[in-house]
Structure 1
Amino acid sequence: MNRAPTWLAALAGARLLPGYPASLQVVDGELDNRPTRFIAVVPDPHNSFPRARAGEVGLLEGWGLAKAVGEAVAQDRDGEKRAIVAVIDVPSQAYGRREEALGIHQALAGAVQAYAQARLAGHAVIGLLVGKAMSGAFLAHGYQAQRLIALDDSGVLVHAMGKAAAARITLRSVEQLEALAAEVPPMAYDLASYASLGLLWRRQQVTDADAPSDADVAQVRDCLAAALRDIGDCRDLRSRLGGEHRSASRDVRARLRSQWQEA
Structure 2
Amino acid sequence: MSRGLQWIRALAAGRELPGFPASVKVIDGELGNRPARFVAVVPDAQNPFPRARQGEVGLLEGWGLAKAVDDAIEADAGGPARVLVAVVDVPSQAYGRREEALGIHQALAGAVDAYARARLAGHPVIGLLVGKAMSGAFLAHGYQAQRLIALEDPGVMVHAMGKAAAARITLRSVEELETLAAKVPPMAYDLASYASLGLLWERVAVEAIEQPGPDDIDSVRDVLVRAVQDIGDSTDLRSRLGAPNRAMSSRVRERLRTQW
Residue in 1 aligned with 2:95? Answer: 95
Deviations 1:206-249 (A, max 9, x none): 01111111100000000000000000001000000121200000
SS in 2 for 1:40: strand
TM-score (norm 1): 0.98
Deviations 1:14-49 (A, max 9, x none): 410000000000001000100000000000000000
1:10-159 correspondence to structure 2 within 5 Å: 10-159=10-159
Mapped to 2, the partners of 1:128 and 1:8 lie a distance apart of 10
**Distance in 1 between residues matched to 2:35 and 2:155, nearest whole Å:** 30
Q: Which residue of 2 aligns with 1:164?
A: 164
Secondary structure of 1:127's match?
A: strand
- Partner residue of 2:211? 211
Deviation (angstroms), 1:170: 0.2
Residue in 2 that maps onto 1:197? 197
User: Could you tell me which amino acid in structure 2 is paired with residue 157 of structure 1?
Assistant: M
Secondary structure of the corresponding residue to residue 128 of structure 2: strand
The equivalent residue for 1:229 is 229
* Equivalent position amino acid for 1:42 in 2: V
Structure 2: distance between partners of 1:58 and 1:44: 12
- 8 Å CA contact 2:14–2:28 kept in 1: the answer is no
3-state DSSP class of the match of 2:29?
A: strand
Select between 95-104 and 208-217 the one with higher mean Cα deviation: 208-217
CA positional deviation for 1:2: 2.5
Find runs of 4+ consecutive structure 1 residues off by over 2 angstroms.
none
Instruction: Determine the C-alpha separation between the residues in 1 that align with 2:259 and 2:14.
Output: 52
Task: Name the stretch that deviates more: 205-214 or 98-107.
Answer: 205-214
SS of structure 1 residue aligned to 2:198 = coil
- TM-score w.r.t. the length of structure 2 is 0.99
Instruction: Tell me how large the CA RMSD over aligned residues is.
Output: 0.7
Q: Distance in 2 between matches of 1:15 and 1:75?
A: 18
- Following the alignment from structure 2 to structure 1, what is the Cα–Cα distance between the partners of residues 183 and 173? 16
Structure 1 residue matching 2:244: 3-state secondary structure: coil
Contact 2:127 2:149 (8 Å CA) reproduced: yes
Residues 101-143 of structure 1: per-residue CA shift (max 9 Å, x gap)? 0000000000000000000000000000000000000000010
Q: Distance in 2 between matches of 1:79 and 1:249?
A: 36
Give the Cα–Cα distance (whole angstroms) in 2 for the partners of residues 176 and 63 of structure 1: 38
In structure 2, distance between residues paired with 1:73 and 1:86 = 15
Tell me, in whole angstroms, the C-alpha distance in 2 between the residues paired with 1:158 and 1:16. 27
Question: Any idea what SS the aligned residue of 1:245 has?
Answer: helix
Query: How many residues matched?
Result: 260
Paired AA for residue 49 in structure 2: F
State the partner residue of 2:4.
4
| 1:56-111 per-position Cα deviation (integer Å, ceiling 9, x unaligned) | 00000000000000010011011110000000000000000000000000000000
Deviation at 1:13, TM superposition (A): 1.5
Alpha-carbon distance in 2 for matches of 1:193, 1:9: 29
Contact 2:14 2:29 in 1 (8 A): no
- Determine the C-alpha separation between the residues in 2 that align with 1:67 and 1:215: 32
Rounded to whole Å, the distance in 1 between the matches of 2:204 and 2:137 is: 22
